[in-house]
Structure 1
Amino acid sequence: MIHYEIHPVNPQAHLFEVKLHLGVVESEGQELYMPNWIPGSYMIRDFSKHIQWLRAENNSGQLKVQRVDKSRWKLPQSESEVVVTYQVYAWDLSVRGAHLDQTHGFFNGTCVFLAVAGREDETYTVDISRPDGDDYLQWRVATGLKPIEGTAEFAFGRYQALNYDELIDCPVEMSDFRLISFDACGVPHHMALTGRHEVDEKRLASDLKKICEHHIQFFGEPAPMDRYLFMTYVLGNGFGGLEHRNSTALHCSREDLPLESDSLLQGEDKVKDNYQTFLDLCSHEYFHTWNVKRIKPAEFLPYDTQKESHTELLWAFEGITSYYDNLALAQTGCISKEEYLTRLAKTITAVRRSKGRFIQTVTDSSFDAWTKFYKQDENAPNAVVSYYTKGAEVALCLDLLIRQVTDWNKSLKDIMQRLWLEFGKVEKGVENDTIQKLVMEETPENAHEELKQFFETALYTTQELPTEQLLAALGLELKCLPRTDRSDRGGFKDKLPKDKQLSDLGVEFTSKATGVLVKNVYADSAAGKAGISADDHLIALNGLKINASNFDRQIQQSSVGDKVILVGFRRDELMTFEVTLEEAESDTAYISYKANFDQYQDKFERWLNLQ
């Protein structure tokens, strides 16, 4: 049995020390390797760069270790047990890496556990210990790994993984965390909250229980795990999540958590936007328990963590998950129908503001995630479309289209259940055309041509989706207009705003004390045509200092077609730009009930209740 020991040897210096016990080494030697990426985050991260030093020893002393490449080592033959010891620098404050200081320790197995090549399917054990010293006596352990040999749940001690894939798919949090527990469909669930925070435990547990039970029942009981853990690091400003088979690692801001005072200030039925976003994140990562952790692209069976694994299916695994994550909040009553429609409108806005949707298909976005989506530069808004948001819009359209052609007897839910039963549950990989085939099997033959055309358009072209028409069949009116200010991302409106012509530069920027710093310039925009570029520091408009907090309004005070003079610095050189203002893009989505909504209300209610 391959055994590890991991010890936070120096929290102040952010160092874990790992010992790998692997027995004798045969005559051909033994190769070890560190993963180069972590499943769920599709970018080469070269985790081996954080290894400070490495040595190998047997009963006779130190062994010579051969370096094979950036992430692989080879051990020589040894007739006695070999122990490999190494230290890992852990200062990556993200859900993907490893982080250690005096307040907590966190690691993903991909960052700290060397793999023993050719022995990945063996059983692994690991001893997890607390840092030395009285300051750490209150620390506990939260992990999806199975405690064994007398180790209590949440205690330091010995844990087991059935194989290397499971070992690196169960991150570990160690700290004096707050634990919130509840059952969902008979399965124990826990949220470990690390970091300074206040929280309404009762409300959070109640909402999470609703969401988790909804997803379990969506795919069908029993749940595929015997326990589940939300590991949440609470920060002053943070957001992110990464899914695992029986856990998820989350980052959130303190303002994202519900407080007991929220109900008093806003009313029992009101949900502050930050908390909606946090529940959405929890819902998203939990839905991944099925959709991507078990229902997988064929290219991920098995994961090859040494090199990129390209797939065009992230539109389904992230996009469909993004569709259902906040839909579930409405279906469980965690948010109101109007709050859900606001979140839906914001998703559509995110797609509309991406000029990359005219350049890149959603399947190309998926395939190129390694080099484009995860490595975005200043031109990304012009060249990249998100398979999260565009994929969610595709999923919305597909769900409504299936309902429409089957007279509301079928939905995308039926496809997801078949994916679980016929692929995820039996560990069979999903091919590029699997979803299309299942949809054809679930729908009448006279609708196949329309559905084939939809898939071709949605997945392999940059043409617009039929979102407006499909929502109209639910009694909803979708309208895209220019944004009113920098914070406007659209939403539900009792009455849709009137059309209004607004002038615009076509840039995204951040405020500075001395003006604005250009982040992105949209292709063919007024700013782009005038030669304004990313990282230009604009300081004056028409001879007056730019007011960063009111820059949009300063621009809108001029009419479409007016010429304005902008002055700023490019690096340390003063630049002057003559800009002819153009009409602002109609890229902000608003949703409202149609005047005759009562005629559609039954279908609308059935959609939101998954009937």
Structure 2
Amino acid sequence: MSFGGGLEHAASQFDIMPQGAFADAAGTFGDFMVPLMAHEYFHLFNVKRIRPAEMWPYDYHAEQYTPLLWWSEGVTDYYADLTNLRSGLWTTEQFLGNAAQNMQQVESAPEPWSEEDGSVATWINEVFVNSSQLYYPKGSLTGLLLDVSIRDASDNRHSLDDVMRALYTRFYQKHNGFTTRNLLALLREYGMPDVAAFYQHYVNGREPLPYETVLGKAGVTAARQAISNPFLGVNAQPDDSAKMVVQSVVPGSAADAAGLQHGDVLLKVGEIEASAAGDWGARYRERYRGQDGQPLAISITRGGKPFTLNTQVRERTAVSFTLTPASTPTPKQAKIWRGLATGSTGN
């Protein structure tokens, strides 16, 4: 098995993970496991209890379409990260580094998309690793920006925590799900300025999230840098025999143009051996940087038979982010960040 994941239940969670998810043979959690555990734990509140009206009650025999997965999954991701920060499992640098990675993932999507569209499309898109699934990182970032905005507008008297508690007491405890209208009303009640415009621009709409403007209110500087690199567009993971097995292919990528399919065993990409040992993807990018449009041969086995697939090197401009806390924040910035990091309000 070369990949894994977790699934929340009403009083437990179920996780299947490869050996590489653990730091050692004793089962010490690796970097991916800590946020996964926090994410599934917070689902006890958000999704298993607090949940969209379309999922009340649950129907385990049919799809339940909702535009609110950005909240149910993405904001759960945000609270998982907050839990790690507030408990001391993560440092400030780890929290901000994770947020920066989310920003890079969202801004590297091949085309703009809305969180609501992604929430609905996840049921009908057969490829898990695709733009519609970005409601996880984009929803997490939306939660962060909403939290900072509410704290700023209310002088740290309120936060997104208040919204989550209100969803629990006013909807779950009254045996009801909530709608987008209900959520926007709560955000407005607790101080989110111009919530309708925020929703239309960034949740229902496709405009880039206002990272720099909002994070600055918490004393965090967001710096972005555009980088052009060869982009193959394949997710391949080692199986039990260390063979690199294709899990997914990004539509429109060089791998897609070559005809790579789920289950193919990747042997070589151009001159680079696809090996479980070391970062072969980094070696590929280094070797073929600046060669956009040049022929590229990909060696695979499919069904046990060898094949050579032909495509071209394709470069993609990605945006990287660095988030840095201010060395001398204003008193209000310091108060907002302290409240966010500790789960407190007031002074």
The two structures have a TM-score, normalised by structure 1, of 0.47
2:8 is aligned to 243
**Quick check: 1:313 aligned with 2:68?**
yes
1:443 is aligned to 191
Deviation digits for residues 167-195 of structure 1 (CA, Å, limit 9, x no counterpart): xxxxxxxxxxxxxxxxxxxxxxxxxxxxx
Report the residue type matching 2:182 in the other structure: T
- C-alpha spacing 1:459/1:416, structure 2 compared with 1 (3 Å): same
3-state SS of paired residue (1:455): helix
Aligned partners of 2:267 and 2:274 also within 8 Å: no
1:301 is aligned to 56
- C-alpha spacing 1:290/1:503, structure 2 compared with 1 (3 Å): closer
Which deviates further from its counterpart, 318-327 or 297-306?
Answer: 297-306
Residue 421 (structure 1) aligned to one of 144, 165, 169:
169
Report the residue type matching 1:243 in the other structure: E
Report the residue type matching 2:154 in the other structure: T
Deviation at 1:532, TM superposition (A): 3.4
Deviation digits for residues 137-186 of structure 1 (CA, Å, limit 9, x no counterpart): xxxxxxxxxxxxxxxxxxxxxxxxxxxxxxxxxxxxxxxxxxxxxxxxxx
Which deviates further from its counterpart, 251-260 or 545-554?
Answer: 251-260
Aligned partners of 1:502 and 1:556 also within 8 Å: no
| C-alpha distance in structure 1 between counterparts of 2:285 and 2:59, whole Å | 51
Deviation at 1:386, TM superposition (A): 2.5
1:370 is aligned to 123
- C-alpha spacing 1:515/1:565, structure 2 compared with 1 (3 Å): farther
Residue 520 (structure 1) aligned to one of 205, 229, 249:
249
Deviation digits for residues 361-393 of structure 1 (CA, Å, limit 9, x no counterpart): 211222233222xx316xx53x52432222111
**Quick check: 1:479 aligned with 2:223?**
yes
| C-alpha distance in structure 1 between counterparts of 2:243 and 2:23, whole Å | 37
Residue 403 (structure 1) aligned to one of 132, 151, 157:
151
- C-alpha spacing 1:509/1:593, structure 2 compared with 1 (3 Å): same
Aligned partners of 2:230 and 2:289 also within 8 Å: no
- Say which structure is richer in strand: 1
| C-alpha distance in structure 2 between counterparts of 1:564 and 1:434, whole Å | 53
- C-alpha spacing 1:532/1:409, structure 2 compared with 1 (3 Å): same
Deviation at 1:420, TM superposition (A): 0.9
Report the residue type matching 1:405 in the other structure: A
Deviation digits for residues 409-439 of structure 1 (CA, Å, limit 9, x no counterpart): 2111111111111111111221221110112
Report the residue type matching 2:320 in the other structure: T
| C-alpha distance in structure 1 between counterparts of 2:52 and 2:298, whole Å | 48
Deviation at 1:305, TM superposition (A): 2.6
Report the residue type matching 1:547 in the other structure: E
| C-alpha distance in structure 2 between counterparts of 1:533 and 1:480, whole Å | 33
Aligned partners of 2:54 and 2:65 also within 8 Å: yes
- C-alpha spacing 1:575/1:255, structure 2 compared with 1 (3 Å): closer
- C-alpha spacing 1:568/1:258, structure 2 compared with 1 (3 Å): closer
The Cα RMSD (Å) is 3.7
Aligned partners of 1:295 and 1:427 also within 8 Å: no
**Quick check: 1:393 aligned with 2:141?**
yes
- Say which structure is richer in helix: 2
- Give identity over the alignment, percent: 25
Residue 45 (structure 2) aligned to one of 290, 299, 302:
290
Report the residue type matching 2:283 in the other structure: R
1:349 is aligned to 104
Aligned partners of 1:567 and 1:576 also within 8 Å: yes
Hey, which bits of structure 1, 4+ residues long, moved more than 6 A?
Answer: 257-262, 511-518, 570-573
| C-alpha distance in structure 2 between counterparts of 1:247 and 1:511, whole Å | 28
Deviation at 1:397, TM superposition (A): 1.2
1:280 is aligned to 35
| C-alpha distance in structure 1 between counterparts of 2:11 and 2:283, whole Å | 49
Report the residue type matching 1:608 in the other structure: A
Query: Structure 2: which 5+ residue stretches go unaligned?
Result: none
Deviation at 1:278, TM superposition (A): 2.7
Deviation digits for residues 538-578 of structure 1 (CA, Å, limit 9, x no counterpart): 8464xxx3333545435434553665332246877655445
Query: Structure 1: which 5+ residue stretches go unaligned?
Result: 1-235, 263-271, 483-500
Q: Which protein is bigger by CA-based radius of gyration?
A: 1
Report the residue type matching 2:127 in the other structure: Q
| C-alpha distance in structure 1 between counterparts of 2:7 and 2:312, whole Å | 45
Indicate the structure whose relative CO is greater, using CA pairs within 8 Å and at least 6 residues apart: 2
Report the residue type matching 1:330 in the other structure: L
Aligned partners of 2:272 and 2:283 also within 8 Å: no
Deviation digits for residues 120-149 of structure 1 (CA, Å, limit 9, x no counterpart): xxxxxxxxxxxxxxxxxxxxxxxxxxxxxx
3-state SS of paired residue (2:260): coil
Report the residue type matching 1:590 in the other structure: T
- C-alpha spacing 1:259/1:552, structure 2 compared with 1 (3 Å): closer
**Quick check: 1:453 aligned with 2:179?**
no
Give the number of aligned pairs: 329
The two structures have a TM-score, normalised by structure 2, of 0.79
Aligned partners of 2:219 and 2:337 also within 8 Å: yes
Q: How does 1:476-555 map to 2 (within 5 A)?
A: 476-481=220-225, 502-510=228-236, 519-521=248-250, 523=252, 527=254, 531-535=257-261, 539=268, 541=270, 545-548=271-274, 550=280, 552-555=282-285
Aligned partners of 2:39 and 2:80 also within 8 Å: yes
Deviation at 1:253, TM superposition (A): 5.3
| C-alpha distance in structure 1 between counterparts of 2:273 and 2:57, whole Å | 54
